[in-house]
Structure 1
């Protein structure tokens, strides 16, 4: 087990009606009483969320500024435009209402608005975040886990990069599963698929003597497999939505990786794919992750055998090591398929035209490797992308 320090100050309010605390919660962090509400689309009004926010904030004389221009794979250009709005209106708190793209936009804006240079400097590693505006979250999607994480992912043209700092962990996150009841089957499947990959990125590690988190991750994965399969056929089941929503947060609040070295290679590869082609991240992961498993399992078979035996119950006495690995990958792909996800890049009409370009971007022209279980160079990444075709 590795040394670790764990700190997560996100204050979680989970369940029905918790959104009515939003005004009081914001009031403890704002000095100017000027708050920016970020969202995407009309659902914030259709679900009555904005009306609740407005009513509760009026009780504390909080003035709301709103912007609903966030899109999947959030763009730096919007963040830069919002930085001016934050400065001009003396906004000192940001409320993100939505899923990962909205929350990640809020996080990047939180430090970008306080920086006089180009916010992209932080994503390129030229600058470190030293200050950030406080943010809060009302989650409407169970997927990214960004409501408790210390990371933000932003796109600039074909480049999709991240920043990690505890300064952007939300001050509070309100998780009301009722707001996810009307999510369509596709978006539900995308979210569940993303959650599973967050768990497995942490599970596949070369660090030994991590039995506690091994079993916690396996339990979370098995729970997700069960609840995901039920939910995809019973979309308005509150209890199932609640299970999935909390699993999303637990999968990405870093508590399940303590003492481990998570991998993240498949996420880095998918970021290149979604950056290049604009596909939805969760579905991209459903394609890339099994390809990564197929490639990397030949170098570190034991952890993949353990996964197959413990998570899927494959009999180690009835199958060879190679058969267990193959079965575990197939069962993982089957689950993604049950969630309505596509299985190959070719199903997105993606061919190998840009594979070399994407692999070079991911490795910064082979000056660095990607991932930890099996550090990948550009040739490795191209091989994985070929497996994903």
Structure 2
């Protein structure tokens, strides 16, 4: 039965990873986002969840209400194109099922602390003994070499420890704050996708699998510090934080009837923006006449933009700035995003139906592959939906 369960659905995968097999023991957000990307791109992904209790499986199944009780809205967004099985890795049948699935997998992916996986006999060396060519992706909280190695990591903890939450304090002069989004989980999930793809390329070239560690703290700190190491990049007493993005006036600007985002970038755009806004002399001010000086005086510049933005309606600005090829976007409330005309034209929000769910809304995969387009083959599955396909199942 192992061969049948690796076949993702009756609809053939068309994406660039068609034929790649991923055994996925990740849960919540970070790992499932990574394997969603792989699944959308054509990989056959089997999601393995814990068995037992009234709430079997990934805890994110139960975050938010759903028609089935086990397909919550966040789980729905992260787990299409994956088969769902429940296995108890502590009993003999479960161990045998995992071993059979691992033998045929290209990638073994999880975000469980390594001590727990070792107790199940699923540490790297044990899995490598089953499948010498396996790519073993471990999404961990912290790198194994540091003193935090055995600690748990969650989005809030990593936002706090990475300096991310401090950006809000530095910008406002008030208290630190978390971003109202699972930004660390999602960012590191994309790091894990990239790591998996790179390991697949390495295996294609060399024939060798490998162990890959994706530490959440280090990945998100890297993400944060790309621009915010800033003044500390070279010796001296420079400050952390990119001056433009740290400025408290960096925000959508109020117009006569709403808000708009305006980002003139090159000299020509700045000069023309101030002319349109009735302030033709601003660009000649030495504080704003070059990119370097504008960066040093970002706060003053944003204050003037705010004054100018308030002189017209949002529609007037959009029309004028589009004609002049000056970057600008209408501000959307989150409630407005599904009706955004561009997203509507591209079919980004998709209405779908599955017999076990009913009607639901999902998101189109955002990347377009001309030669190997992605497709949606399988709706998110209920707990253990494919258990009958497992090797050794009662109906074998």
Q: How would you bin the TM-score normalised by the shorter chain?
A: under 0.3
Higher relative helix content: 1
Task: Report the structure number with the largest CA radius of gyration.
Answer: 2
TM-score, with normalisation over the residues of structure 1?
0.25
TM-score, with normalisation over the residues of structure 2?
0.25
Task: Tell me which of the two structures has the higher relative contact order, counting C-alpha pairs closer than 8 angstroms and 6 or more residues apart.
Answer: 2
